[in-house]
Structure 1
Amino acid sequence: MKTKLYINNENLIAGMTMKEETELEMNNMALHACENPDNIIINRKKLAASLQCELASFVCANQTHSDNFYKVTLQDTGRGSEQLETAIQDTDALYTYEPNIVLCSFTADCVPVIFRNEKTGLIGVIHSGWQGTVKEITKKLFNHLIQVEQCDPKDFHVQIGAALSQEKFEVDEDVYLKFKGLGYADEFMYFNDATYKYHIDNQLTVQKQLELADIPADQIEIDQTCTFKDPNGFSYREDRQCGRHLSFIVRKSD
């Protein structure tokens, strides 16, 4: 199974599954965008085995391009792992302090954000498509973690996963104006005179949101793989019927 591992040590495993032609539905991990749910369960079980855990330890959300986030507890273990109906509803970011829970996020061009707090053991995932970025889901979640969960921003390490590149993320003026309205995204956009389209770097905009929440810049990593250009990427822009990557993080019990 093709998986990009961003962290793999005795305490944490975090990464992102990639497209693979030899797997069912090319290693699609999404129940909400599949040909046969049984194929997705098989793929997820393979991933679980590679993480040395059970699929029942996965927690998934029903993502809606919102700015909603959710604190996962032990009672949520297994939600959305085998059925869409049990997923955490209307949520695009998950975090937890609990060990042995695999937090999951699904993307195909959108920006996946995977994070950990070195001091508290808190871990989390964010799904930030352009709509989530404009709603500032990442900035809002980290402000919540700092203010409500009393986390020190200097203790966070963040991985921004593979997503649609600026070259391939071309939009019309309506989307451009939404990003411009943020007040800090101008340097991440340009206008293409030949096509009359704007090009936006969603990853760098998300990185800026992290920095605005006082996350140290040198503790933010960006995977520059473009999901459109890379043959291992699922791209909704390229194919509306495509599968989804699964970005994940799990902290192992002591």
Structure 2
Amino acid sequence: MTTNLYVHNDKFIAGITMKDEAEFEHNNMALHACTNPDYIVENRKKLATSLQCELSDFVCANQTHSANFHRVTLEDKGRGATQMETAIADTDALYTYEPNIVLCSFTADCVPVIFYNEVKGLIGVIHSGWQGTVKEITLKLFEHLAQVEQCNPSDFHVQIGAALSQEKFEVDEDVYAKFKNLGYADEFMYHNNLTRKYHIDNQLTVKRQCELAGIPAEQIVMDRTCTYVESAGFSYREDRKCGRHLSFVVRKGD
């Protein structure tokens, strides 16, 4: 099983699963975009084993490109792990203080954001496709964590995972206008006069949102793997029937 581990220390494990020809459905992790759900469950079980936990420790959401987030409690443990019906509804970001819970986010071109806060023992994942980015889900969640959960933004460490590159993320004027209206994304966009398309760097826009929330730039790391170009990437732009990567984070506890 191919997995990019971003963080692996005595307190936190975080990473993203990648496409792997040797696994069921090429290591697809998504129940909402698969041929055989049983294969997806098997792939997830294999990931759980590699993380030295159980699949029942996973928590998944039904992602809808919203700006909605959810604080995961012990009662949520196992939601969406083996069937879509139990997933947390209409939610694109999860966070928790609970140890030994694996928070999951699914992407194929969209930007996955993984974060942890050692001081608070808090972890989280965000699914930020372009719609989530223009709705500022990342900025809104970190503002919530600062105001409601009393987190100091400078205590966060953020990993921005593999996503569609600026070169491959071409859009028409309607999407460009939405990014333009953010007021801070201009330097992450350019216009191709030949194709009359705009190209947007969604990863850098999300990184800017983290910075606007007060997170130090040196504590934000980006994986610039393009999901369209790289053979280990699932790309919805390339193939509408593709699988999904699973971004994950867990805080180890006793």
Query: What's the TM-score once normalised by structure 1's chain length?
Result: 1.00
Partner of 2:171: 171
Secondary structure at the counterpart of residue 104 of structure 1? strand
* Secondary structure in structure 2 of the residue aligned to 1:248: strand
Q: Provide the secondary structure at the position in 2 that maps to 1:13.
A: strand
1:136-195 deviations in Å (ceiling 9; x for gaps): 000000000000000000100000000000000000000000000000000000000110
Deviation at 1:111, TM superposition (A): 0.1
Please name the residue that 2:157 is paired with. 157
Match of 1:241, as an amino acid? K
- Residues in 1 aligned to 2:55 and 2:213: alpha-carbon distance in whole angstroms: 33
Q: Distance in 1 between matches of 2:208 and 2:232?
A: 27
Q: CA deviation at 1:11?
A: 1.1
Match of 1:57 in 2: 57
The 3-state SS of whatever aligns with 1:199 is: strand
Match of 2:233 in 1: 233
Show structure 2 runs of 5+ residues with no match: none
Q: Deviations over 1:204-246 (max 9, x none)?
A: 0000000000000000000000000000000000000000000
Structure 1 residue ranges (4+ consecutive) displaced by more than 6 angstroms after TM superposition:
none
CA–CA distance in structure 2, aligned partners of residues 134 and 11 of structure 1:
33
Cα separation, 1, equivalents of 2:204 and 2:90: 25
How many residues are treated as equivalent by the alignment? 254
Shift, 1:9, TM fit: 1.1
Residue of structure 2 equivalent to 1:253: 253
Cα offset, 1:125, TM superposition: 0.1
Matching residue of 1:15: 15
1:115-126 maps to which residues of 2 (within 5 A)? 115-126=115-126
Equivalent-residue separation in structure 2 for 1:210 and 1:3 (angstroms): 25
Show the counterpart of 1:194: 194
SS at match of 2:89: coil
Counterpart residue identity of residue 188, structure 1: F
**d(CA) in 1 for partners of 2:219 and 2:153?**
10
Secondary structure, aligned partner of 2:228: coil
Q: How far apart, in 1, do the equivalents of 2:249 and 2:190 lie?
A: 34
Q: Which amino acid aligns with 1:128?
A: S
Aligned partners of 2:11 and 2:211: how far apart in 1? 26
Distance 2:13 2:220 in 1: 17
Structure 1 residue runs of 5 or longer lacking an equivalent are none
Partner amino acid, structure 2, of 1:227: T
Show CA shifts across 1:87-127 (max 9, x none): 00000000000000000000000000000002011000000
Give, as a single letter, the amino acid of the residue that structure 1 aligns with 2:137: I
